[in-house]
Chain A
């Protein structure tokens, strides 16, 4: 009997606020160490936490998006552990009564099969500070800027059965929190962190002992780390050994997981309700108000793109992959009324250029209105597809909108039938031999004539018209 893999994920999504969850300190990324840490963040005695208003609707939005029960009376608890980047000696979190309760489901698709992954809960908590172990010999440097940053910890059921499923789920949650505008999803800066609990067992027997993989900051590495960890556990169990419950770190350079070498004694967090914070009460009216401002979610948007714009599933999925991309595409379509060609330009030339310059779509130098202007000039035959690429490049370099570039570069396409016919006549007259060869059955000569006419027009003749008129002339 083969091994069955069991994976559950704990995702920490940093909520997009201006200040910390319990203090008015800013949380700008990359600030000088400890310049964003006030007395509360430093864990000084006598300081009292006051909950940031902004975090509650953000957490509720997530709960509503996954169809979970909303905790009407959620309670903050203290999770006690000793570590220098946690100067209070406890992390304020939610234990028994989280703000997002049971019932949540995230649907994933792997290799064409859809599967529902349960979300056990999602709770509000504060982040810890950062420890820098390498900067000072024999000492650890502590930066408490991050201490108190608001997090939503999203805990899944152990419902995933492969690394692929785990990554599909993580990506889905990543897409969702960005759609909801509650987290910026930046994995490099640690705004979206995925911890994977991995174990293996034989089907029909109890779950095996799990190892937790932490601090992996890309989807690719999450998949690799889980694969490697599964292999490691299989090897241990098949050689008669035992998997130890522990936290392991993934080393991407060596492609291996390594024990964090924690101290012997197991963690015992000794949770208890935080006496400094009162219960957070959410009313039905609060929930209704948040429901009313929920954005269209990715799955609904994809379905609408297919139905309304007659796009393929593939195109719709790509375009709906981020809210910014979807909004951009819809803005283009609103001005062109041409979904298919608009989709092609957004996913083609625009995405290619954005990737080349490492820009996101919100940073695109070509606006949706400018791209729509370009597409409209292709549609009305002012320019050819080839010229359009030239115009796009000029717009990208900031030379103005499509009409300006077309006028300045003299890129207007020749669509006048008389003018094109005159050029064709000239080409045919100059190449009598080739015409004869064509008429004697050498059909590939046709391409030669097209090339000659395009050359004579300096590339400005409408290629479709050239083709059509040439055919007529050569009959």
Chain B
């Protein structure tokens, strides 16, 4: 159907951006809209109020559970997610779940996948960890898992630091962010520039079947990526930005908004790649200066008080600008698109 002005009739009241929509067929709604979603991470866990990681983990695993028909096991690295979900003897997991050590989750997952294959069962393996367990402690195991192309989806929930041990910096802490181990020394505040590890690009460089980034602000996008990942075999990597109210100094209700600002400013690029090549990007809907993303976060407060640090803000903006250019994030989003793309701003990379 289309209007006399030639505009396709869509479900504008919720666009494609809300979790569900009473006007569309239940089968076309998001996994999270389903009354019978797996709720892989259930109530009663001890994550902080407004935890982005708890949200991200349920989004990812519920979709993976749907995609595998429940035939999957989860391997978890040490970190917030492991600590808040399984204080002995309780567990919040409603999936088969295994924890070994901080740095060995990719290796344990590789072994689990190999063992399950040896048993002749088609049970899939999803490994997950925080940014500390992924980009620092587990990077060697992860790289090996990629290099061997083991049949594992590895999911990194990136909150930019070691949060459950007291907000220490990690290799994924963004420049200029304050942590408890990046205290002001002399005239310099916050994390240094040029020290971070861009894990999605490291993964992409391994030319594995699938690499993607996502955030908890765009559920539809995240679910589509998990589905795509589970439709493929071999080593796959998904990097999900999960704001941390405690470590980032934000209000608990701001978690989704902050993740949205990370993508809308271009500071966190959302893309998808296969075999070493970026294939699609999540385009920016309403671009905002990176300052709008930084200002609500306590970990960047020193950039605004007592003096406004134009130099640092300028460098952070440059990072966002470089992302926008590298991934083509600013290309006009097809807000009202014709056949092909949806209204969700996805675009093919030329």
A and B physically associate: no
